[in-house]
Every structure is written in structure tokens, then in C-alpha cells.
Amino acid sequence: MATEARATADGPVTASEVMVTAASRELKDGEIAVVGIGLPMIACMLAKSTHAPGLTPLLEIGVADMHAVDTPAGLADPRIYYRATCWSGFLDTLGMSLHRGVVDVGFLGGLEVDRFGNSNTSLIKGPDGQTRWMNGSAGANDVASHAKRLMIILRHGKRKLPAAVSYLTSPGFPNGRSRQELGMRGGGPYRIITDMAVLGFDPTTHVAVMLSIHPGLKVQQVLDNTGFELHVPEGVPTTALPTNEELRLLREEIDPQRMFLRDKD
């Protein structure tokens, strides 16, 4: 990654920084976004500090437009409630915003995402088929079901992007079926953003396709790290690098302790 990337005074641009910046640029000014903790929130803060000051982030727990100054331990950490403009609850955010259909973007992480954008936050299965329960849905299914478009951010890997999820917690386009056919109102998956590439979905087959590859990587490297068959169009563009200002914001203001922006080994 570091080979082609532009070095700055504070070291080369990292894969995590490219990933979060790419995600941030998918958020538009004036939109309403329900964001998960961690990378989605970091990307949202970057968007708000740059091109989308009018973006309204919501937390499912019942928080609107927060301006956290300390890095939170999770969704239940008061650090993330700071300087919010509304404190309410699930009925308000998940119900009267998401279920009502006014949320433009649902933005989540995940344990696993497959080529139809189905995601799993419930459990993992061992090679022997044994089940190990994890967090479950919480608000993830609600966000994936009702947001006008869904973005998922996670680190690239064969097991993170399998042919089929171990458990379908939150539907994308199951078996390639359209959301309309499924009787769902939300638009479904729109982007999967990883530390290797940005993926979108074919409008007719609803299968994941590569939209851009992060700088310094070869297509084969990405395919070798993907558990499903990933379509790569000829001449796929390179993901844009973060600007100096985006890097400064990420490193000095948004995640100075590198709690979320640390690259995996």
C-alpha cells in the first residue's frame, strides 16, 4: 500500500485512511445518515468537517447530530452523546426516521458481507459447523431494511467477504432478488468500502462489482483476498488519495489515538 502512496510529514498514507476517505466522499451534504460506531462514524465526521457540513448523523440509540470530542468505547458510551441536538430513543431514530423512510444513508460495519450485500452480525460458524453467537442484529437489520441506500465498511479478507454469509442478519439482495420483489421499502446495498477497494452493485443482477481499487494494489491481490467471485471491469479506476487536509483532520482531530484507523497487520 505504502509504495505508491504519497508520503506526508507524518508518514505514508495508510490503507485505513484511503478507506475512510473514500467512504466519507460517498456522503452528501444535507443528507440524513444513521451511522454505526467505529469506522462509519469516523467517515461521517470527516465528511462533516469537509464537503458535507450539513450532514445529519443519527445514532440508533436516540442521538441526533452529535459532535463527540473524545473517542467513544461504543454506542452506549456517553462520549458519543456530546453536543447532540436531540436525545430520544429507538422509536424516534429507527422508527420515525428509518422506518418512516426519511433516512438517506444507512452506514454500518459488519462481521461478514456477501456478493449480494447480505450482512451478518449475529454469529460465526466454525469449520465443524459449530455456532458461536456474537452481537445479533440490534439496529443493523432495521438500518439495512429501511435506509434509502446502504453502505457497509469493513476490512477486506476472504472470511469477511464470503460466498455466502454464515447467518443473514441484514438483507441486501438475497439470491439477487430486487428489494421491490422482497416487499422491502429501503433501497438496499449501494457500496461496500474496504481497505482494498470500493465495490458497488450491478443494477440488474444485484451482484457486487469493483468500482475502484486502492492505490498500490493489483487486481489479483484483491481477488485473492475476496471469498466471492468479484467482477472487475476492464480499466477499473484507482481510488482517489486523501487530500492533505483530510489526512490532517483524521490524524489530528478525528482519531488522534488511531483507535479505528490502525491498519490490520
Partner 1 sequence: MRSDSTVREEARVADKVKTIAEAVESVPDGAHIALGGFAIARNPIAFVHELIRKQKKNLIISQAVMGLDTDLLVGAGLVKKLIVGGGSLDRFGSINCVNRARDTGSVAAINSSSLSITFGYLAGALGISFIPIKSMMASEMLEVLDKEAPDYVRHGECPFTGEKYLMLRAITPDIAILHVPIADRKGNCWINGPQWENAEAAKAARRTILITEELVPTEYIQRSPERTIIPGHRVDMVVHQAYGAHPTSVFGSYDFDAQHLQLYVKHSKTPEGMKEYLDKYVFGTKDYWEYLEMVGGARMMDTIKAEAIWGY
Q: Which positions touch partner 1 (CB under 8 A)? A: 37, 59-63, 70, 73-79, 81-82, 87-91, 94-95, 98-99, 121-122, 130-142, 145-146, 167-171, 174, 177, 182-185
Q: Which of 17, 26, 60, 246 is the catalytic position? A: 60
> Angle 15-24/39-49 helices, nearest 10 degrees?
60
Radius of gyration, CA atoms only, the chain: 18
Contacts of 95 (CB under 8 A, 6+ apart): none
Long-range contacts of 204-208 (CB under 8 A, 24+ apart): 205/176, 206/116, 206/117, 206/172, 206/173, 206/176, 206/177, 206/178, 207/115, 207/116, 207/176, 207/231, 208/115, 208/116, 208/117
What SS3 class is residue 253? Answer: helix
The minimum distance between CB 139 and partner 1, in angstroms, equals 4
* Exposed / middle / buried, residue 185 (Cβ in 10 Å: 0-12, 13-18, 19+): middle
Q: Does the annotation count 253 as an active-site position?
A: no
Among residues 50 and 97, whose Cβ is nearest to partner 1? 97
The residue (of 34 and 46) whose beta carbon lies closer to partner 1 is 34
**Residues sharing a CB contact under 8 Å with residue 99, sequence separation 6 or more, in sequence order:** 142, 146
| Smaller CB separation from partner 1, 61 or 192 | 61
CB of 147 to partner 1, least distance (A): 12
Q: Is 259 helix (H, G, I), strand (E, B) or coil?
A: coil
What is d(CA 223, CA 65) in angstroms, rounded to the nearest whole number? 38
171 versus 215: smaller Cβ distance to partner 1: 171
Contact assessment for residue 54 and residue 29, using Cβ atoms and an 8 Å cutoff: yes
**Of 138 and 209, which has the nearer Cβ to partner 1?**
138
Nearer to partner 1, 51 or 177 (CB): 177
Residues annotated as catalytic (active site), given as ranges: 60
